[in-house]
Structure 1
Amino acid sequence: MNAPERLELTCSRAWPPLVVKPLGEWSLRWAGGFTGRANSALAVGDAGHPVGDALEAACDFAHDRGTAPMVQVVRDSPNERAIAAAGWVPATGHGAGHEVAVLTKRHFHVKAPPPGGRFHVKVADEPGVGWWGLTLRAGEDSPAARQVLAGGKVGYGVATLDGAVAGAVRGALVDGWLHVARLEVTPAFRRRGLASALMGAVQTWGAEHGADRAVLQVAERNSGALALYAGLGYAPHHRYRYWVPAPGSCEDSTS
């Protein structure tokens, strides 16, 4: 397994689905439909079966749980070429974007400058009501979503002003990595340094808990986020894509 695939496994453990079924080195994942990362087959390494058979197993796994089949795979990898050859197509309809950049950073112990104004930024051991309210987007709140976001060793970053949550971020620890996700700032409080302050706070939390490198996953079409993270020292590591069965294929062989 190469470096991009190993890092994808790390990221998957930082974003734990409710159900994981191994298929060789692949993982079939389900979390009630909350995010592609937790509801797709992670196609890294050797599935232990011909790729066509592995994709059929991914279809059956998803159908059995009432979700649409989808595969996450490192871009331009042998697995991706095999998936394309099997007749699957890029998941261009995936809401969050089917092409994703994975960025990494090392030696992130230096704190970001404090935000302007009277904001207070910290990383808590438990998610508060305000953190959930800002982190879960419209239509996302469910027991499955909350279980994914609270799974593992997690730091819940919050920025507050007079007790109101103005920004939030999630940091999860896996094998010396800090996985950063769900950075969000309320529109009324943007352009005041809160995003950088939240990133600095969660990075400091990660370093205090033994992490010496950080990783995050960003849709390639999210140019604003990519610019922010580049300014904070994050560099491209690799990219991945989501693939889905071609229309009319991937029938449920278990029914």
Structure 2
Amino acid sequence: MEPAETLELQCALAWPPMTGERLGNWWLRAAGGFTGRANSALAVGDPGLPIADALGRACDFAHSHGLDPVVHAIKDSAVEHALTALGWVPNVAHEAGHEVSVLVGPPGGPAETSRMLEVPTPGWWELCAGTSEPTEAQRHVLTTAPVLGYGVAEIGTETAGAVRGAVVDDVLHVSRLAVHPAYRRKGLAADLMAAVGAWGAARGATRCALQVAVTNAPALALYERLGFTEHHRYRYWVPGAPSCEDRSS
């Protein structure tokens, strides 16, 4: 099993920010506030300078892009221990869940009815972004990666389910799996996973990775049924008061 840091970097390349700055092995990211992953400092490995100084750089970067500083760190890593010592705290207010399980499993497939597209449709956008007219940040994050595909499950003329797949090296990163409430409990989520899995395998992926908040019990149960297991967890951290003042003005 590869180190958590390696998988985190592969997943990050599948979910690119609009603006990024490398700091040693760290990656400072900004994308107009769209998702925690694209608007946090990915703090894995060595930043090339003392962690206290690296966190200061992360704070300055976030403030310069109109963001509250957030650090994305592997749970129980040396970085997390340093964050605690420096007065940072888990971001329990993060709406999508501050603690995330990174799961790995087989690509899966073939699908029965779902199919993969090269370009997202309005129905795909509605399910995966909540709008048929995505913002610049949504469009950038969701349509930028080395190899991308957009899965849809259609019933009649309606998009009943959708998913995003991105291949980085030999990893298929799956995200934005969504099924319209009117069509849940019909096996569409599993069929979409089969479709994106077969698509990824055809493009060199040997395994699949995805990220799920630890509080999302239905999703975790689905992925367990599909053969996924937990690889590691990460958490979002924010500075304790007042250790990260805004110096951008």
In the alignment, structure 2 segments of 5+ residues that lack a partner are: none
For residue 221 of structure 1, what is the aligned residue in structure 2?
A: 215
Partner of 2:39: 39
C-alpha spacing 1:211/1:227, structure 2 compared with 1 (3 Å):
same
* Residue 136 of structure 2 is aligned to residue 143 of structure 1: yes
Q: Distance in 2 between matches of 1:201 and 1:139?
A: 23
1:104-145 deviations in Å (ceiling 9; x for gaps): 013x34435x3xxxxx41010111111111111379941111
1:238 maps to 232
For each residue in 1:166-222, what CA deviation from the matched residue of structure 2 results, as whole angstroms up to 9, or x when unmatched? 000000010011000000000000000000000000000001111111000000000
1:154 paired with 2:153, answer: no
CA contact (8 A) 2:99 2:235 kept: yes
1:57 Cα deviation (Å)?
0.6
- How far the C-alpha of 1:21 sits from its partner, in A, is 0.2
**2:123 is aligned with 1:130:** yes
SS of equivalent to 2:38: coil
The aligned amino acid for 1:190 is R
* Aligned counterpart in structure 1 of residue 206 of structure 2, from 209, 212, 221: 212
Give the direction of change, closer, same or farther, for the CA distance of 1:230–1:140 in structure 2 (3 Å limit).
farther
Unaligned runs of 5+ in 1: 115-119
What is the CA deviation profile of residues 44-81 of structure 1, one whole-angstrom value per residue up to 9, with x for unaligned ones? 01011111111111110000010110000000000110
Q: Which amino acid aligns with 2:156?
A: D
* Change in CA separation of 1:139 and 1:101 when aligned onto 2, cut-off 3 Å: farther
Letter in 1 for 2:143: A
1:192 to 186, 195, 201: 186
Instruction: State how far apart, in whole Å, the 2-side matches of 1:174 and 1:24 are.
Output: 21
The whole-number CA distance in structure 1 between the counterparts of 2:77 and 2:23 is 18
The 1:169–1:220 alpha-carbon spacing in structure 2 relative to 1, beyond 3 Å, is same
Distance across 1 between alignment mates of 2:199 and 2:154: 17
2:93 is matched with which residue?
Answer: 93
Amino acid at match of 1:111: P
- Residue of structure 1 in register with 2:159 after alignment: 165
CA contact (8 A) 1:167 1:194 kept: yes
**Contact 2:123 2:158 survives alignment (8 Å):** yes
What is the match of residue 80 of structure 2? 80
For residues 95 and 138 of structure 1, the distance between their equivalents in structure 2, rounded to whole angstroms, comes to 19
Aligned residue pairs total: 247
TM-align CA RMSD: 1.5
Q: Structure 1's 249 and 137: CA in aligned 2 closer, same or farther, altered over 3 A?
A: farther
How far apart are the structure 1 equivalents of 2:87 and 2:233?
Answer: 21
Assess if the C-alpha contact under 8 Å between 1:34 and 1:140 holds in 2: no
Give percent identity, aligned residues only.
55
1:111 partnered with 2:110: yes
